[in-house]
């Protein structure tokens, strides 16, 4: 079969390119996930910090959190603005829930893990240097809780704000469809590159294939003219085959001459 070597090389190249497409898809999916998580968390942290300022400003005026009823409305407005926010909770230093957007409303205290995360927060001066240092994170089933500490003017911790959000639950169907489309696009590109590489292999191997076919024909035909078999452009084994053919012809000639001589001696007597 002409181009047998090129075909084998093309198959190998295509297999490796398909692997490349799969690996590229995996890495891109991981990077996209990281970027989305980072953007989403940044957005939620901004919301938390905004709410924190709105709660802490009245605290400086001497108002207690229990008396700021307008906060419930603000929390609900923020929670309604983003479909990925599951709930926003405001609680005091003992973990008692003061305001919450949680529709079920069956809790009156926040989970123990939130309080532990709140107590593990760095000092206000240290947290003020970087926004992300002032936020605690607690993973939850199907999502994550982010929170900030609420402090009064004396720097004393009076409670906390927590925002629970889903992790890629909303729009998962769309995400899966987009991931599939991207994977198919990458696979199609890899296959195209494999075919282009195969064309290159075929073009590179074609002179050798033609030359080898012509030389094989010359070797198979004992009656061919001496120079006919190496008349093609010598890019392959023409030189070796020409030498081989010349040596074989010499041997054939010597054999034929000797046979004729023996026949002559035999016939003469």
Partner 1 sequence: MGALETSPPASTAAAPARAESAAAEQGWSARLRNRLLLLAAAALLLAALLLGAVGLRAVEQRLAAEVAATSVTVGRGLAQQFEVALAAGVPFEELTGVEAFLRRATGFDPRIGFAALLDAEGRVAHAAGSLPESLAGGGVGSLEDAPRLGLGGHLAVPVAVRPEGAAETATPAAAYVVVGVEAGLSADQRRTFLLHATLAVLALLLLLLAILRPLLWNGLERPAEALAGLAAAVRRGDLAQTTWLAAPGPLGRLLAAARGRLASVNAGFQAFLLSAFAARAGHFEPPVLREITAVVRRALADYRLPPVTGAWPLPLGDAALRRSAFFALLLGEALLLPGWRALPALQDLGPPLAVAAVQLPLLLSLPLGLLVARRLLAGFAEGLVFTAGALIAAAALLGLALADGVAAVVALRLLGGLGLGLALRPLAAG
Among 69, 81, 123, 233, binds partner 1 (CB under 8 A): 81
Instruction: Fill in the per-residue mask, 168 to 187: x = in contact with partner 1 (CB under 8 A), - = not in contact.
Output: ----------x---x--xx-
Residue 194 C-beta: closest distance to partner 1, Å: 8
Contacts of 151 (CB under 8 A, 6+ apart): 56, 124, 157, 158
**Contact present, 127 and 134 (Cβ < 8 Å):** yes
Strand runs labelled E in the chain: 85-92, 97-100, 135-140, 143-151, 157-166
Quick check: 56 and 50 in contact, CB under 8 A?
no
Residue selected from 46, 66, 109, 126 as contacting partner 1 according to rule CB under 8 A: 46
Q: Is 86 in the site for partner 1 (CB under 8 A)?
A: no
Task: With CA atoms as reference, report the closest residue to 137 among 157, 160, 114.
Answer: 114
- Between 138 and 189, whose beta carbon lies closer to partner 1? 189
For 221-242, give one letter per residue: b (16+ CB within 10 A) or e. Answer: eeeeeeeebbebeeebebeebb
Name the 3-class secondary structure at 30. helix
Q: What is the nearest approach in angstroms of partner 1 to the Cβ of residue 104?
A: 25
Residues 101 to 160: which contact partner 1 by CB under 8 A? Answer: 131
The one among 1, 104, 106, 123 contacting partner 1 by CB under 8 A = 1
Which of residues 126, 153, 169, 252 is near partner 1 by CB under 8 A?
Answer: 252
Q: Site mask, partner 1, residues 189-228, x = CB under 8 A?
A: xx--xx-xx--xx--xx--xxx-xx-xxx-xx-x------
Handedness of CA 96, 101, 107, 112 (dihedral sign): negative
Site string for partner 1, 3-42 (x = CB under 8 A): xxx--xx--xx-xxx-xxxxxxxxxx-xxx-xxx-xxx-x
**Helix pair angle (4-60, 172-220), 10° resolution:** 160
Q: Which is nearer to partner 1, 226 or 244 (CB)?
A: 244
DSSP annotation of 253 reads H
Both tokens of 141, joined, read: 């089933």
Q: How far is the CB of 112 from partner 1 (least distance, A)?
A: 28
Nearest approach, Cβ of residue 24 and partner 1 (Å): 5
244 part of the interface to partner 1, by CB under 8 A: yes
Q: Contact between 233 and partner 1 (CB under 8 A)?
A: no
């Amino acid at each position: 079969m002409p181009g047998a070597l090129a075909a084998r090389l093309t198959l190998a190249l295509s297999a490796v390119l398909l692997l490349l497409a799969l690996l590229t898809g995996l890495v891109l999916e991981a990077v996209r996930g990281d970027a989305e998580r980072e953007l989403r968390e940044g957005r939620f942290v901004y919301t938390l910090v905004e709410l924190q300022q709105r709660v802490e400003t009245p605290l400086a005026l001497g108002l207690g959190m229990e008396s700021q009823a307008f906060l419930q409305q603000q929390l609900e407005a923020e929670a309604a603005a983003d479909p990925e926010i599951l709930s926003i909770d405001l609680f005091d230093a003992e973990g008692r829930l003061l305001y919450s957007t949680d529709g079920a409303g069956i809790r009156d205290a926040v989970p123990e893990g939130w309080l532990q995360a709140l107590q593990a927060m760095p000092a206000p001066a240290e947290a003020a240097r970087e926004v992300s240092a002032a936020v605690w994170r607690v993973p939850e089933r199907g999502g994550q809780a982010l929170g900030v500490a609420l402090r009064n003017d004396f720097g004393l911790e009076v409670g906390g704000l927590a925002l629970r959000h889903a992790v890629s639950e909303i729009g998962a169907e769309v995400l899966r469809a987009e991931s599939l489309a991207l994977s198919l696009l990458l696979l199609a590109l890899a296959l195209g590159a494999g075919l282009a590489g195969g064309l290159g292999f075929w073009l590179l191997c074609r002179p050798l294939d033609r030359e080898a076919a012509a030389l094989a024909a010359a070797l198979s035909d004992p009656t061919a003219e001496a120079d006919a078999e190496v008349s093609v452009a010598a890019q392959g084994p023409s030189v070796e085959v020409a030498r081989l053919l010349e040596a074989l012809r010499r041997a054939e000639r010597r054999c034929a001459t000797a046979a004729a001589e023996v026949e002559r001696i035999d016939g003469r007597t």
